[in-house]
């Protein structure tokens, strides 16, 4: 029995009766519901109160609970069109053998015999390549002479880099000079390449490698001041009193190597060309034809060499701007289009300007020929030979193990838990 308040304020009592449907379900119904359902079919089942799912096309009768609460609104029916839109919004891809990863695939089964064959093939390929690379490297002839300690001017005999650095500063822009004699012990066939070698110089240090403006090098403007810190202005950003912008700016450019060499053989000068020594793509696409401005021109702020004329025409500068990966590196300085016979002596006049004493580095000049593989570097050939030899050794070890401890492939009796169970039984 439930009660609800009427409009007059008096409680109104509704008798709730139980009726049954044809399917056996019990339904609550009230007198009002019976009256509303008087026109229903003659089956005698009237005023059926059903769920919203069974009354999609008509409103259901109001049913009051025994506790006296009001009726809840019927559930909104779902439209078939909404379900279609939901299916259209689905992100599930269309079925294909590719998306379901059902395409045929190769799943090689590495049996001991196949592993041995693979190792032998790798060793057979690598060892000849390594021998060829090693022969090419050994065919390169080079002459190397360190000179930083010999060209320290009046303090060349000292071992203190601080004294050598002071002597270099006292010499001004011309630097200190010295003469080297290089003896040719084996014929140098043209072309002969002239390199300079630096040690203990970390050109790949973050502060150096990122201190440049690529847009400025191509002829544009510096986008942000921090691109070239601390070498954007003449005074290296120390006082910021002189706002004359340096072209090219940045530490990588400012530390440009500026030692120079003059070669002679028997009193006759040897021409060293600086054209065609840089990558053509670098010269054509990365550097502008503008002339350098305020670039290492002030002695107290300079850190390296200067550029006379157009930036892209100084190919030694273009080569310098390619970052070296290791602290000991060589960079190409020039090319000689003549050969040097065995027994000849090459005189090198060095103008020592680059301050390697400040960071404890060494400098050397290198004359070298080349092969189809490049300069002298035995590492690549040795690496191939070592890997190939290791493959042969590993293949032999697999053969020994396969013969001495052979078992049927996929033998379940070799599993540890199966063997333990057999031992217990």
CB 285: neighbour CB atoms within 10 A? 10
The pLDDT, as a whole number, for residue 30 is 46
* Rounded mean pLDDT, 154-164: 84
The pLDDT, as a whole number, for residue 256 is 94
pLDDT, tens digit (0-9, with 9 covering 90-100), for 37-77: 444 333 443 343 344 334 444 444 443 433 444 444 455 54
**pTM greater than 0.75:** no
The pLDDT, as a whole number, for residue 16 is 42
Q: How far apart are CA 409 and CA 419, in angstroms?
A: 16
Query: How high does pLDDT run on average in the chain?
Result: 79
5-19, 150-164, 288-302: range with lowest mean pLDDT: 5-19
Among the ranges 49-58, 307-316, 329-338, which has the highest mean pLDDT value?
A: 329-338
pLDDT, tens digit (0-9, with 9 covering 90-100), for 169-193: 888 888 899 999 999 999 999 999 9
**Please, which contacts does 47-55 make with residues 24 or more away whose CB atoms are closer than 8 Å?**
47/19, 48/19, 48/21, 51/75, 52/76, 52/77
Residue ranges of alpha helices (H) inside 159-258 are 161-170, 206-209, 214-217, 251-254
What percent of the chain is predicted at pLDDT more than 90?
Answer: 47
Dig out the tokens for 375 from the structure: 């300069």
Does 403 or 129 have the greater pLDDT score?
Answer: 129
CB 229 within 8 A of CB 208: no
The 8-class DSSP code of residue 134 comes to: H
**Of 354, 44, 58, the residue nearest 199 (C-alpha):** 354
Domain ranges of the chain: 2-70, 114-140+370-402, 143-361
The answer, yes or no, to whether residue 250 has pLDDT greater than 80, is yes
User: Which region holds residue 309: left if phi is over 0, alpha if psi is between -120 and 50, else beta?
Assistant: left
409 band by pLDDT with thresholds 50, 70 and 90? low
Secondary element (H or E) of residue 411: none
305 band by pLDDT with thresholds 50, 70 and 90? confident
The pLDDT, as a whole number, for residue 40 is 37
Q: Which residues fall within 8 angstroms of residue 327, CB to CB, at 6 or more apart?
A: 199, 200, 201, 202
Residue 382 CA: distances (Å) to CA of 130, 138, 203, 377: 6, 12, 28, 10
Does 291 or 109 have the greater pLDDT score?
Answer: 291
Report the SS3 class of residue 206. helix
26 band by pLDDT with thresholds 50, 70 and 90? very low
């Amino acid at each position: 029995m439930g009660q609800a308040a009427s409009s007059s304020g008096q409680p109104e009592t509704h008798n709730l009766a139980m009726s049954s449907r044809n399917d056996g379900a019990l339904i609550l119904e009230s007198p009002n519901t019976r009256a509303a359902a008087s026109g229903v079919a003659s089956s005698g089942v009237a005023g059926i109160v059903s769920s919203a799912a069974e009354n999609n096309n008509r409103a259901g009768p109001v049913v009051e609970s025994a506790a006296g609460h009001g009726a809840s609104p019927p559930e909104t029916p779902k439209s078939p069109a909404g379900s279609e839109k939901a299916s259209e919004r689905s992100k599930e891809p269309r079925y294909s053998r590719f998306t379901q990863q059902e395409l045929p695939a190769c799943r090689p089964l590495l049996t001991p015999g196949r592993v041995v064959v693979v190792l032998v093939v790798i060793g057979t390929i690598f060892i000849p390549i390594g021998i060829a690379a090693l022969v090419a490297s050994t065919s390169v002839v080079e002459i190397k002479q360190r000179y930083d300690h010999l060209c320290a001017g009046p303090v060349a005999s000292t071992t203190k880099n601080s004294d050598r650095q002071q002597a270099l500063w006292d010499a001004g822009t011309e630097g200190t000079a010295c003469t080297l004699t290089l003896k040719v012990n084996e014929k140098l066939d043209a072309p002969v390449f002239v390199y300079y070698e630096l040690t203990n110089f970390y050109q790949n240090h973050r502060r150096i490698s990122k201190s440049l403006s690529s847009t400025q090098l191509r002829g544009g403007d510096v986008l942000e001041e921090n691109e070239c810190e601390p070498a954007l202005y003449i005074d290296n950003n120390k006082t910021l009193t002189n706002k004359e912008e340096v072209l090219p700016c940045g530490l990588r450019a400012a530390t440009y190597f500026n030692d120079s060499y003059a070669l002679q053989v028997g009193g006759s000068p040897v021409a060293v060309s600086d054209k065609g020594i840089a990558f053509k793509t670098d010269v054509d696409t990365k550097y502008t034809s503008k002339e350098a401005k305020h670039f290492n021109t002030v002695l107290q702020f300079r850190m390296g060499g200067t550029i006379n004329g157009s930036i892209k025409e100084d190919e030694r500068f273009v080569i310098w701007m390619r970052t070296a990966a290791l602290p000991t590196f060589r960079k190409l300085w020039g090319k000689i289009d003549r050969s040097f016979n065995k027994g000849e002596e090459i005189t090198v006049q060095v103008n020592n300007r680059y301050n390697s004493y400040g960071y404890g580095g060494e400098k050397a000049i290198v004359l070298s020929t080349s092969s189809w593989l490049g300069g002298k570097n035995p590492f690549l050939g040795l690496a191939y030979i070592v890997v190939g030899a290791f493959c042969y050794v590993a293949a032999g070890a697999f053969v020994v193990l396969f013969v001495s401890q052979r078992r049927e492939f996929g033998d379940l009796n070799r599993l540890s838990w199966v063997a333990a169970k057999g031992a217990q039984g």
